[in-house]
Structure 1
Amino acid sequence: MKNLFMLLACIVATSAMAQKKKKDQDIQSIKDMCGCYEVEFNFAETFSPDKDYQFHDNYRSGALEYVFPIEQDDDKIVLQHLLIVGDTMIIKHWRQDWLYENRNLYAFHKDNTWNYVKLPKSEVEGQWTQKVYQVDDGPRYEASGSWVHVDGKNYWEASSDAPLPRREFSKRKDYNVMARTNRQEITSYGWLHEQDNKKILREGDEDKLLAWEKGWNTYTKTEDAKCNVAKEWWDKYAGYWADVRSVWDELFASKETISIKGKVDDKVLFMQLFSLQDDLINGRSYDSTVAKNKIRETIQRYLNTDQRLGLK
């Protein structure tokens, strides 16, 4: 009996060590996405079930992008992206949060609406949720999946519904949901964001597939000095965007449906928050309490649902 207990204890210890090793590999892969990158964005529609569908032109673009951690602990890593345009202009880009064995998601439905979903514990064991946020730190898409480390490959893959990408949301009205399969793979040159997307028209409970799309976005590492201007920009504005994230977190904590208006006073939300950033920081002593109230007031105006942000 004693030998059996010792064997069981050995099995448990070995399993725990293997789990820790796997998690450490996951964390390293997430961190490996940080750095200064030359980025190429490539998208092409590849197939449609409708023989009369008019395929849209391929999309291709490039940029210099800085990716860096703004928060980190054993179960959460937050990576911020900043675009550098013309060597001097900084555009706050998307953000990706990685949460270990997370059960709480906001699933995109359609028309700027996200529904809260709680996943069973058994479904997320050993997995990481990637939560992707808009440039204004509002919700975009979220999914849970496993990092895979095998045969020299390191990648994460999962599927989720999302709003239209920025490259199309002001140009296309023929679909309202992009069903994305995202694969993020660490490579010898940096990392690859590969996508297999379906463009869907969702009306009620019916989905109509318009077309498939392939995305191939390469992040090629370059010298860090090229991104110094982005680091300086973040040093100036980090406090403001920390407060923006904090206000959004108040809303996410409600665990209720979130629905956001497309425009208020003919302006989308990110325009208002970017303008507020400049009003609160340029030439002024920054007051976090004042800033959070103004951020709450701004986001509140865009909510279609009944949540009331706690103004102080």
Structure 2
Amino acid sequence: MKIKTILFSASIMLAGLSAKSQDFKKTEDIKAIKSMCGCYEVQFNFTETFSYSKDSLYKKSPVKHETALEWVELLEDQPNKISLQHLLITGKTEESIVKHWRQDWLFENTNFYNFNKETTWNFNQKKPKEVKGQWTQKVYQVDDSPRYEGTATWIHADGRHYWENTTDAPLPRREHTIRNDYNILKRTNVQETTATGWIHDQDNSKLIRKDSEKDVLLAQEKGHDVYTKVEDSKCILAQNYWKKNNAIWKKVRDQWEIIFLKNRTLSLEKKVDNQFLFMKLFELKPDATREDVNKIIDSYIVK
């Protein structure tokens, strides 16, 4: 009886230690995610590394080196959800602010919208054991429609803090304006915090996807975006812009959330009235009604 009691006590103690370890690990994860907030000078670097086209006239995308100033706003800060809104500063007035991409981080999330092709995202569910201890990064377009998402474990080892995942995505804006010979960008994303900010490293595959056929690899690409932290005061224009416009974009996010909660495959119209969705939403005034927002978004949902 004494042996059983000792074993039982030991198992309780080990369970307690394991829970504390998991809590500490999650705290480190949250610290890494939230450290991406603030004002950053950003270097965007992309180059096509290998091509596999059989076309002798195939032309690579040009090498891209660009710099920008970007504010990353902490939208939501909950135990199992952290939301970060990126705002691009392109000039010296508030009119130059561009609402950029958004990244939501969800702890042990099981619901996914996986990009298929064109403008369709397939809804999928994972089992809780498949995502235990993991964070899903959900990335949204400038109009808060889905872009890509994936789940993985944040790693804190050897002085490094990083998260890595591979997932399918639409073509980025820098590509879809100049390329139409592929329709999937399979992205391997690594987001790593550093002493001076953070890095978004990418190893991407440009794929051609057709129904009932095997994906064809057209080319590979390297991306290396470096976010260097600077004084928050350098991004005051973006901060002021967001104070004035946050309410309207909250209405946009709320409507998308209603759509996502339907948990079914989502397809969008490319254009309505010859306009992309972001164009119509960017035209809205800060005091636009929820009904105005909902009507615009719903018009792009393929029923």
TM range (shorter): over 0.9
Question: Of 40, 45, 51, which residue of structure 1 is paired with 2:43?
Answer: 40
Structure 1 CA distance, aligned partners of 2:31 and 2:301?
37
1:98 aligned to which of 75, 99, 105: 105
Spell out, residue by residue over 1:194-227, the C-alpha distance to the aligned partner (whole angstroms, 9 max, x if none).
Answer: 0010001101132111000000000001111011
Instruction: State the 4+ residue runs in structure 1 displaced beyond 4 angstroms.
Output: none
Q: Once the two structures are aligned, what percentage of the paired residues are identical? A: 50
Distance 1:165 1:235 in 2: 28
Alignment of 1:164-179 (within 5 A): 164-179=171-186
TM-score, with length taken from structure 1: 0.92
Q: Which segment drifts farther, 256-265 or 214-223? A: 256-265
Q: Which amino acid aligns with 2:87?
A: L
Instruction: Pick from 55, 69, 75 the counterpart of residue 80 of structure 2.
Output: 75
| 1:309 matched residue in structure 2 | none
Match of 2:172, as an amino acid? P
1:253 is matched with: 261
**Alignment pair present for 1:201 and 2:208:** yes
| Post-superposition offset of 1:18 | 0.6
**Alignment equivalent of 2:66, drawn from 35, 44, 61:** 61
Local SS of the residue matching 2:209? strand
Report the counterpart of residue 310 of structure 1 in structure 2: none
Give the Cα separation in 2 of the matches to 1:56 and 1:178: 14
2:292 to 294, 299, 303: 294
The 1-side partners of 2:176 and 2:66 are apart by 16
**What SS does structure 1 have at the residue aligned with 2:283?**
helix
**Residue 56 of structure 1: CA displacement?**
2.1
2:222 to 214, 217, 231: 214
Amino acid at match of 1:222: V
Distance in 2 of aligned mates of 1:47 and 1:114: 28
Structure 2 distance, partners of 1:32, 1:43, is 24
CA shift digits 1:115-149 (9 cap, x unpaired) = 10101111100000000000000000010001000
Letter in 1 for 2:255: V
Distance 2:229 2:173 in 1: 24
> Partners of 1:223 and 1:63 in 2: how far apart?
15
Q: Using the TM superposition, give the Cα deviation of residue 111 of structure 1 relative to its aligned residue in structure 2, in angstroms.
A: 0.6
| TM-score of the superposed pair, with normalisation by structure 2 | 0.95
1:18 to 15, 21, 27: 21
Deviations 1:223-280 (A, max 9, x none): 110111111111101111001000000100111111111111221000000112x2xx
Displacement of 1:191: 0.2
* Whole-Å separation in 1 of the counterparts to 2:41 and 2:270: 31
Residue 227 of structure 1 is aligned with which of 223, 235, 243?
235
Q: Deviations over 1:36-69 (max 9, x none)?
A: 0000111100012336443221112111000121
How many Å separate the matches in 2 of 1:41 and 1:222? 16
Q: What is the CA RMSD across the aligned residues, in angstroms?
A: 1.1
Q: Gapped runs of 5+ residues in structure 1? A: 307-312
1:113, 1:182 → 2: CA distance? Answer: 21
Describe the SS at the equivalent of 1:255. coil
Q: Distance in 1 between matches of 2:122 and 2:153?
A: 23
Which residue of 118, 123, 127 maps to 2:130?
A: 123
Work out whether 1:157 is the aligned partner of 2:157: no
**Is residue 287 of structure 2 the alignment partner of residue 303 of structure 1?**
no
What's the offset of the Cα at 1:157?
0.5
Give the deviation of 1:35 after TM superposition. Answer: 0.9
Distance 2:275 2:142 in 1: 15
Query: Aligned equivalents of 1:93 and 1:57: distance in 2?
Result: 23
User: Aligned pair 1:147/2:145, yes or no?
Assistant: no
Unaligned runs of 5+ in 2: none
CA distance in 2, matches of 1:57, 1:90: 26
For 1:44 and 1:170, how far apart are their aligned partners in 2?
A: 16
SS in 2 for 1:203: coil
* Offset at residue 169 of structure 1 (A): 1.2
Moved more, 83-92 or 208-217: 83-92
**Quick one: distance in 1 between partners of 2:68 and 2:60?**
25
Q: Which amino acid aligns with 1:33?
A: M
